[in-house]
Amino acid sequence: EAGVTQFPSHSVIEKGQTVTLRCDPISGHDNLYWYRRVMGKEIKFLLHFVKESKQDESGMPNNRFLAERTGGTYSTLKVQPAELEDSGVYFCASSPYRTGPTGETQYFGPGTRLLVL
């Protein structure tokens, strides 16, 4: 079974440019999460999809970040325009859908390393 995949693995862009990150969850996983780790700090939650719906987007830092999950399969996270402080590692995770608070394990992708110059 293929794991969570993310593309690209690395991205270097200049301030003001746009970058789009992609995440393909494990097949059949309805839950999809985005997290970010800024250098030296904690991994922080960004948002959570259940299928194509945004369940929780409380961690999105500002309106320069736009996440989509059309069709409930893969997801994209677009940063426009990118700022220096957006540099970090962006992780995607997925889990099966279960009703109720099951504490279902979240399976992580390898991350996308974003550097904004």
Partner 1 sequence: AQTVTQSQPEMSVQEAETVTLSCTYDTSESDYYLFWYKQPPSRQMILVIRQEAYKQQNATENRFSVNFQKAAKSFSLKISDSQLGDAAMYFCAYRSASGGSEKLVFGKGTKLTVNP
Neighbours of 8 (CB within 10 A): 13
Based on the shown chain and the rule CB under 8 A, indicate whether residue 110 belongs to the binding site for partner 1.
yes
User: Segment near partner 1 (CB under 8 A), from 15-23, 50-58, 65-73, 74-82?
Assistant: 50-58
Candidate ranges 11-19, 21-29, 37-45, 63-71; the one touching partner 1 (CB under 8 A): 37-45
In the complex, the smallest distance separating the C-beta of residue 17 from partner 1, rounded to whole angstroms, is 26
Q: Is 4 in the site for partner 1 (CB under 8 A)?
A: yes
The Cα–Cα gap between 34 and 46 comes to: 5
Query: Which residues, 6 or more positions from 32, have their beta carbon under 8 angstroms from its beta carbon?
Result: 23, 25, 48, 49, 69, 75, 92, 93, 94
23 strand-pairing partners: 6, 75
Q: Which residues bind partner 1 (CB under 8 A)?
A: 3-4, 31, 33, 35, 40-45, 48, 55-56, 58-59, 91, 100-101, 103, 105-111
